[in-house]
Amino acid sequence: MKEGSSLRTFWTYGVALALVHLAAACSPATPDPQPSATPTATAATPAADGKSVVVFGDSLFAGYNLPQDKGFAPALQRALAAQGVKAAVFNAGVSGDTSAAGLQRLAFTLDGQPRKPDLVIVGLGANDMLRGLNPADTRRNLDSILAELKKREIPAMLTGMVASPNMGADYARQFNAIYPDLARQYDVPLYPFFLDGVITDRALLLPDGIHPNEKGVERITAAVVRVVAARLAK
């Protein structure tokens, strides 16, 4: 994604997300989505000659309000298979998770895998931003997650998020720098913006205007799989 295109996309996303914030502020409070951190039904046990991938994130990874086989994890498994990559993709997404909550459950998640993963895709921070949490804390939590994966010699990948303009320029500057900075620090692949090409298209979103629907997940996966496949090939 070229820099100019990225900036335009991020700005458009920010405007859209600002409208979501406004709508949420004018709507009755709703409870956080229920967690869903179980492996995908089609990927309970990785084959001995296949790869094991864990998608570790929030509701964007968990497949919020989608059928079990339509979320990001099963879509990624199908997309990898279409590229000739035999892999079991485990859904370790929990709706409502912040980076701090993710850090707290990381060891439990990794220890519960049938074997050491060949790749862990980390996608956290969106809820931190939506709640206005300190970007320094988000950075520290994601840093700790990547440090633990490095300690365990588990390859990692990041998917990024960007701050809405209504969070303020200073907040956006601090938050948006987290993902590229950590990707460079740990030398891991980065897909810069998980919702790129989706957040601005209502036809690809659920009625809440922020979570992808089945078509949105497929659009995201078609782009992300290229980065994942390249990382698994190393």
State yes or no: is 59 an active-site residue: yes
Question: Exactly one of 52, 58, 59, 97 is catalytic; which is it?
Answer: 59
Question: Exactly one of 69, 143, 181, 208 is catalytic; which is it?
Answer: 208
State yes or no: is 208 an active-site residue: yes
pLDDT tens-digit series, residues 141-198: 999 999 999 999 999 999 999 999 899 999 999 999 999 999 999 999 999 999 999 9
- pLDDT, residue 14, reads 54
Domains: count for the chain: 1
pLDDT tens-digit series, residues 8-26: 444 455 545 544 443 333 3
- pLDDT, residue 234, reads 84
pLDDT tens-digit series, residues 81-133: 999 999 999 999 999 999 999 999 999 999 999 999 999 999 999 999 999 99
CATH number at residue 153: 3.40.50.1110
Query: Which helix (H) or strand (E) segment is 54 a member of?
Result: strand 51-57
State the pLDDT confidence band at 77, using cuts at 50, 70 and 90. Answer: very high
Domain that holds residue 157: 3-28+35-233
- pLDDT, residue 146, reads 99
State yes or no: is 6 an active-site residue: no
